[in-house]
Structure 1
Amino acid sequence: MILSKTNMQRVNLAMLMVCVSTVIVGSRVSASPAVTVLPDDAAKIIIYNAGSDGSPVENCQIPIEKLAVDFKNNEYGCVNDEAYSFGLKNVPSMTKIWLLSEHDCDLTNEDADWIFNAVTRNKKTSVNELYLKGLKANLDSKLNNPDKHVILAPGLELLGGQFVRNNIQGKLSCVRIEPATPDTTSSTGVLAQTEAAPKIAESTVSSATNIHASSYIQLWGSEGGDGKLDCTIPGWDAYTHRFSIWRDEHGNKKGPTNPQSCPNDDVYALELVNMASGTLIYLSSEAACFMNREDDKTPDWIAKLKVTKKSTTTPRVEITALFESDVKPGKPLPVNLGAAGLMLVDKEYNTGETKGKLSCIQIIPPTPDTTHPAQ
């Protein structure tokens, strides 16, 4: 069949319109018919695979709606059994998120390899890549002490879950989402959200806890560099964070008390975020901490700080500067340290290096949480 020039132009225009329609779909922009790319400022979960060099490679983006996304059959282009990490962007507070190893998205499946249940605590929670393999230690801490608040990242708390088999790397197969204000409609091609199974460990968080949920200490590694560690210490919980094995006054060996999996001998600085006035922060070179000990053991160094202003937030404060500055106990830290709202209560230096040698942090809130006494 021979087409006239006019008819050929019409055919070309029709083909162009078909191509454009496959790119623009409603309010979402799709990189291809299979992969959905949400607007940059949209609330979403971003799933990442691991590149050949270990760096994150985007798998898919999931909008914050009431849904369950089966990675074997979904409209967002999520690929099954390839995800190693995830991130959040602009996710509203009190959004519940489940990460599941099984593509059937069944929260009642007691034989599922693993299920992790988290909730956002900040108004717009954004979190850089969190590796799935790192959630196991946090879940162990949560299941061992269900009343404890386990913070995965600023604004993101682990509520509970289950872990049956250690088959986690690249094995994410479903994401379930329940926004704070449930969306009663169900998106095409996804399952409607159902109630969580009673077996999923989930703590009841009081309104008082919600107020303090974004109070934390961010730890930094590498001297003077951009080495933000994947470790945040909750600021409202009375707890002694020991980063390695230690011995008590009687010589008994004890394990770390380190639910945030902070690295030992690799912390150079602290950054305080929304810390309550009156909070005491005890730093020590030894995992034993040596606070109030009466034996003859001597730590290399210790420092005790007190928050003196309401909702104190500081930039990075170098630990070594606490010892190199001429500030006296009972006095505010110098302005040039960027530590407004912090007072040095006490410090002691005996020997050794202070750079990167932090092994213990003890937090004593202004009103101690007797549920978790310092260990």
Structure 2
Amino acid sequence: MSATAELSTLGVSIWLDDLSRERITSGNLAQLIDTHNVVGVTTNPTIFQQAISKGDAYAERIAALGDAGHSTEDAVFALMVDDVRDACDIFVPQFEASAGVDGRVSIEVSPVLAHDTQATIEQATVLAESVGRANVLIKIPATKAGLPAITETLARGISVNVTLIFSLERYREVVDAYLAGVEQAAERGVDISTLHSVASFFVSRVDTAIDQQLDANGSPEAKDLRSKAGIANARLAYEAFEELFHSDRAKKLLADGANVQRPLWASTGVKDPALPPTLYVTELAAPHTVNTMPEKTLEATGELHSIEGDRVSAFYAEAHSVMDALADLGISYAEVTQALEDEGVSKFIDSWHELLETVEKALGATR
């Protein structure tokens, strides 16, 4: 059995953290499904900006949008919706085989709306309708303004990928927003068994930020903690997941047909070249999770001889010890995670503007 098949058997869903027109039309996406047990795809503004800026795979469609008089932003959304819709169609077998758990493709609301609740709700609804596929997930950032948007979007019967989660406190708020959304959906007569959600907990970015502070400290204790914070943080999120979905509130919803909101490990490509390329895959393997892998991480995982099994649920005490040791060194978990959230939104906004500029130039050339 391959390592990716072992992960799947353990209960880890492998989603590719990339999408492009070329990946769809070349058959590469279908190939990864067959060879690496890929059962979903995530996207974001950075991924689309990189895809559209390379080669001419989008040239014909951009020309058609230009001829039709579309604005730059409308053209961007049309291009994204095209790719996501076509990817959704490719994943129909996985969607049906998993009863809607997998076979999912995510599309993100504009990051410019990260602090605007109502605008996020309306755009999430439009995106879901535009893609028009049952296996789409709408990505909404876990900002303070994003939390009520998550609840209302779910209440409207739309499945959600909650993104940019860094702190355990915010993760608990995300779960609360999810449960509230499912409760409100049930009140509105929505079949809650069709509602699915993942909570995307970012991993490597936590290590990058905290390792910088550990390096500045320079003590033996600090050196010993390098590249341990991201995994510890994610393991404690899984501990919270097990606790929250065993609450009386969650049990009632699950008994009525609701689904758990699975933890998703995002940003699982290592940033430090000294680390094993599969570190955030093997060390975060656990049932009822999703791991979104860049292609390099996916290929490295495919080359592993085996997976050690669940590397999360037996490591809670160790994870707490890591976080306590970081606090003892004066590293503020709250400050780091809030800075990462702010930076994450900012980076996606920058990518969004770059994406608009790329498409604007292409539209200009066609006109």
Select the structure that is richer in strand: 1
TM over 0.5: no
Larger radius of gyration between Structure 1 and Structure 2? 1
Select the structure that is richer in helix: 2
TM-score of Structure 1 vs Structure 2, range by shorter chain? under 0.3
Larger relative contact order, structure 1 or 2 (CA cutoff 8 Å, min sep 6): 2
Give TM-score scaled by structure 2 length.
0.27
